[in-house]
A and B are shown apart, each in its own frame.
Chain A
Amino acid sequence: MKKLTMTILLGAAFAALGAASAWAETKIQLVEVITSPQRTEFLKSQLAEFEKSNPDIKVEVISLPWGQAFEKFLSMVQAGETPDLVEMPERWVGLYANNKQLEDLGPYMKDWEEASTLGDRAKQFGSTVNNTQYMIPYGYYVNAMFWNKKMFAEAGLSGPPQTMDEFAADAKKISELGNGKYGYCLRGGAGAFGSIQQFLNNMNGKPGYFNADGTSTFNEEGSVKGLQMMQDIYKNGWAPKDAVSWGFNEIVTGFYTGTCAMLNQDPDALIGIAEKMKTEDFAVAPWPVGPSGKAYPSLGYAGWAMLADSPAKKETWKVMSFLLDNKQNLGWAKTVGVLPIHNGADQDEYFKTEQFKGWFEELSHPEKYEFVTPPTHLENLGVFYDSMVPTAFQEVLLGKKTSKEVADGWAKFLTEEQQKYMAAHK
């Protein structure tokens, strides 16, 4: 009997100890959404390093497949299954921030040493909703123009186009080579709006989506000309016929297989292209300028955000600030193909190369290149990109609707959204 009692007591003691040590350990749930095997591997190695110097914090990584990440993450949050930390593409910020799902990071950043080397853009872009820092970007996707040197030479062209009119002319000349060769890798399928905005803004001579009074600029005369140019490029056969349904993978494939000679993309495409093409066969030039002499390339970003529901905010901030410090961020940026967020990045060995010239040239000549970021403060931005743009754009390309018609439709929707926002945030 005594033995039994002793064993029970000892067992209870051990159990209590075990529970106590488990208690001391905080579990942080991190959700990544732009998932790929390489990114997951790198992220996990970063977190392993973090856990070594923070033994009382364990980070669990949940990887959502990108194709369904938006739906899945939204379902999770709607059902109350929120993680602590989430990888947040800029397009999602409006939705979650406006619905009070994200934590204000301002107070945490105040005591953060790395905040001093953080570029201004990071603070600016993370605070688009209500001027509150709801997320911190981990890198920028800046759009520039990849061009195929070989195909250009074949068509008798000496260099990349400097203006939009040259762009169209070059596309025409290269398509005249025939044989399955085309000028522009047009993206008619998912995610097309990034390029569309660049055409519209360039031809209109004004950056961005809105005027000061909240009306959209997309059905102004110049913008419609831009949309018309895209329609002409497709109609005239200066882009492949299949391009009407091309998404990211197809346009990149089109470029490195030599099907089309010009591609506007961010540094993330560089990773794939550099593997498949010889460095002397392609280069990256800045996006051509419009009739006003300026160009308006798009700038996107993704970063980390903390969920307002998190029960372990201090620890979550520790993980976040670790991933965003200069050293970790440089490594991350190289792996995933973004431009890093801390000052001095362009001096880094990796980013000083020829391939990155196009992007850094855009970054260092603000008089010619003004960046346009998506209006991430709008709650229904995702609705616009995912359900209003795809079908309408395809209808324009195929000639089923006029560019004016479609531009009017887009402008109407965006104006409504923007003015609604402005009224609610006087």
Chain B
Amino acid sequence: MTLATRNAHDENRSHRFSVALEPWLYLSPALLIITSVLIVPLIIGISYSFRKFSAFRSEYVGLEQYRTMLTDDVLHGAIINTLWWTGGSLFFQFFLGLGLALLLNRPFHGRKLVQGLVFLPWAVPTFLTGLTWTWLFNPVIGPLPHIFYAIGLQAEPVTILANPETAMWGPIIANIWFGIPFFAITLLAARKSIPSELYEAASIDGASAWQQFTKVTLPFLAPTIAITVMLRTVWIATFADLIYVMTAGGPAGSTNTIATYIYVSAFKALDKGYASAVAVLLLALLIVYALIVIQMRRALMKDK
């Protein structure tokens, strides 16, 4: 090998190396912070699932906690409730949020003010949201039971939170109220990033409003939609505060989700080990779900 080619060869390799390194440089601050602050406690937390705890003692029990989970009826009920809770909350907040985003994209008087105001629900601490909605549903101090009664939704003005059949809707409605701004703002920001020539070109080509929406807006929004839906699903599934404040998982366990069950197991039954095992189950389910979404997103991006 001549000196020239060898130099070029080495340069090539080091160039390839620095090219491969490049993304990691951008990622390093984020990964560093997360690993040092969160991953280590996460691993410790997962390790709890292999032990049985009481307040001040613990013993190693291998997979026993996981075996207990298989026969735990309360957990099975909680899984079903979690599906209702996550699905119900997500469906409404997403579509209503999308609708709001599209609305805010149009010019109208006072738009700036409206934009700031509709963000408010997201800014309220969730336990306060829970408390306020509990008030709203309470017939003595809130208007909703009386409104429901007046329009025939209820036979008598009582709080929907005390009836196992209807209790789940309370936290769901509160969660919808809370989550709409999230979708509205992120989808609006994404919508604003779409170059306007695309719409001009489309209308020159004679596309109707609906066609512009499906052929221009949706494809460009798709990546954002995928990410926000995935994130929000994960958050809702692990969200215990709102439900706990409103119903404590009751009445009779009808609003007990996996997240509230974990909370009760850890802090009321004092068995961190079991709570951790259930959390690991939830984690596994959510990771599978996320993988699916990421793959779907990849496919969408490739088409573009």
- Show the binding face of A for B, using Cβ within 8 Å: 70-71, 74, 78, 95, 99, 101, 188-190, 240-245, 253, 257, 259, 379-380, 382-383, 386-387, 390-391, 394-395, 398, 400
Closest to B269 in A: A387
Q: Is the CB of B252 within 8 A of A400?
A: yes
Q: Is the CB of A391 within 8 A of B164?
A: no
Chain B residues near A190 (CB-CB < 8 A):
248
Pick from A383, A386, A394 the residue with the most CB of B within 10 Å: A394
- Nearest CB of A to B155, in Å: 11
Q: Is the CB of B56 within 8 A of A391?
A: no
Q: CB < 8 Å: which of B56, B158, B162 contacts A99? A: B56
- Nearest CB of A to B158, in Å: 5
Pick from A78, A240, A242, A400 the residue with the most CB of B within 10 Å: A242
Q: Is the CB of A245 within 8 A of B268?
A: no
**A71→B248 CA distance, assembly (Å):** 15
Identify 14 new A-B residue pairs, CB closer than 8 A, beyond the known A241-B163, A242-B158.
A78-B56, A240-B158, A241-B162, A242-B139, A244-B250, A245-B161, A253-B140, A382-B270, A383-B270, A386-B268, A387-B269, A391-B252, A395-B252, A400-B164
Closest to A392 in B: B252
**A99→B270 CA distance, assembly (Å):** 14
**A241→B163 CA distance, assembly (Å):** 8
**A394→B57 CA distance, assembly (Å):** 31
**A166→B249 CA distance, assembly (Å):** 35
Chain A residues near B265 (CB-CB < 8 A):
387
Kindly state whether residue B7 has any CB partner on chain A within 8 Å.
no
- Show the binding face of B for A, using Cβ within 8 Å: 54-57, 138-140, 156, 158-159, 161-164, 247-253, 256, 264-265, 267-270
**A184→B152 CA distance, assembly (Å):** 28
Q: CB < 8 Å: which of A240, A241, A387, A398 contacts B264? A: A387
Chain A residues near B57 (CB-CB < 8 A):
99
Q: Is the CB of A71 within 8 A of B250?
A: no
Q: Is the CB of B252 within 8 A of A394?
A: yes
With A241-B162, A387-B268 as contacts: A379 and B248 at CB distance below 8 Å: no
- Nearest CB of A to B243, in Å: 13
**A259→B55 CA distance, assembly (Å):** 41
- Nearest CB of B to A347, in Å: 40
Q: Is the CB of B158 within 8 A of A391?
A: no
- Nearest CB of B to A230, in Å: 15
With A189-B248, A259-B140, A382-B268 as contacts: A78 and B55 at CB distance below 8 Å: yes
Lowest 6 A-B CB distances belong to which pairs?
Answer: A386-B268, A387-B268, A394-B252, A99-B56, A394-B251, A387-B269
With A78-B56, A259-B140, A383-B270 as contacts: A390 and B250 at CB distance below 8 Å: yes
- Nearest CB of B to A196, in Å: 15
With A242-B138, A244-B162, A386-B268 as contacts: A391 and B55 at CB distance below 8 Å: no
Q: CB < 8 Å: which of B159, B253, B267 contacts A391? A: B253
Chain A residues near B252 (CB-CB < 8 A):
391, 394-395, 398, 400
Closest to B250 in A: A394
**A188→B54 CA distance, assembly (Å):** 27
Closest to A74 in B: B55
Sample (21) of A-B pairs whose CB atoms are under 8 Å apart: A74-B267, A95-B55, A99-B55, A99-B57, A190-B248, A241-B156, A242-B138, A242-B159, A242-B161, A244-B251, A379-B54, A380-B54, A382-B268, A383-B269, A386-B268, A386-B269, A387-B264, A387-B265, A390-B250, A391-B256, A395-B252
Chain A residues near B163 (CB-CB < 8 A):
241
Q: CB < 8 Å: which of B139, B162, B249, B267 contacts A71? A: B267
- Nearest CB of A to B132, in Å: 15
**A109→B180 CA distance, assembly (Å):** 60
Chain A residues near B139 (CB-CB < 8 A):
242
With A74-B55, A99-B56 as contacts: A245 and B162 at CB distance below 8 Å: yes
Q: Is the CB of A189 within 8 A of B140?
A: no
Chain B residues near A78 (CB-CB < 8 A):
55-56
Chain A residues near B158 (CB-CB < 8 A):
240-242
Q: CB < 8 Å: which of A70, A99, A395 contacts B267? A: A70
With A387-B268, A390-B248, A391-B250 as contacts: A257 and B140 at CB distance below 8 Å: yes
With A78-B55, A95-B55, A253-B140 as contacts: A245 and B251 at CB distance below 8 Å: yes
Q: Is the CB of B247 within 8 A of A245?
A: yes
